[in-house]
């Protein structure tokens, strides 16, 4: 089984690398109305404070000022980019610290965005 890892670029700058990714884009079946896409990324907790600082911009508001364009990168085990997803006007609306897995604290960030497109 192949191992993958994920990168998050915000406005052209690599913000972080992650071990786990869940991307959700859906339409409400009864109304055909689009539900705002979400992206959940998880990694080992470290001393990088950039995502938390970005989240703080959302908390302090207005949210519109914190929205940024970005790119999700999917890498295979050899580090080759195998897919790219464009995020339009993304912002981190949720940050979680924990749980501890195999003695290591993990953190997760959940982004919402106006739109997501696979570009490669």
Q: Which helix (H) or strand (E) holds 105?
A: strand 104-112
pLDDT at 2: 53
Encoding tokens for residue 53? 């600082």
Work out the widest C-alpha separation in the chain, in whole angstroms: 45
Task: List per-residue pLDDT tens for the chain, 120 residues long.
Answer: 458 999 999 988 888 899 999 999 999 888 889 899 999 999 999 888 889 999 999 999 999 999 999 999 999 999 999 999 999 999 999 999 988 888 999 999 999 999 999 999
pLDDT at 11: 87
pLDDT at 1: 45
- For each of the domains in the chain, give its residue range(s) and CATH number, in order of start: 5-25+34-118 (2.30.110.20)
């Amino acid at each position: 089984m192949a191992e993958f890892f994920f990168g998050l670029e915000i406005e052209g700058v690599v913000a972080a690398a992650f071990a786990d990714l869940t991307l959700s884009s859906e339409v409400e079946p009864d109304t055909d109305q689009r539900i705002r896409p979400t992206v959940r990324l998880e990694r080992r907790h470290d001393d990088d404070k950039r995502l938390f600082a970005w989240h703080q911009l959302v908390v302090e508001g207005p949210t519109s000022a914190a929205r940024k364009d970005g790119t999700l990168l999917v890498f295979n085990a050899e580090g080759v980019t195998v897919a790219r997803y464009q995020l339009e006007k993304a912002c981190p609306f949720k940050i979680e610290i924990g749980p501890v897995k195999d003695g290591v604290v993990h953190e997760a960030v959940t982004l919402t965005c106006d739109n997501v497109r696979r570009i490669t």
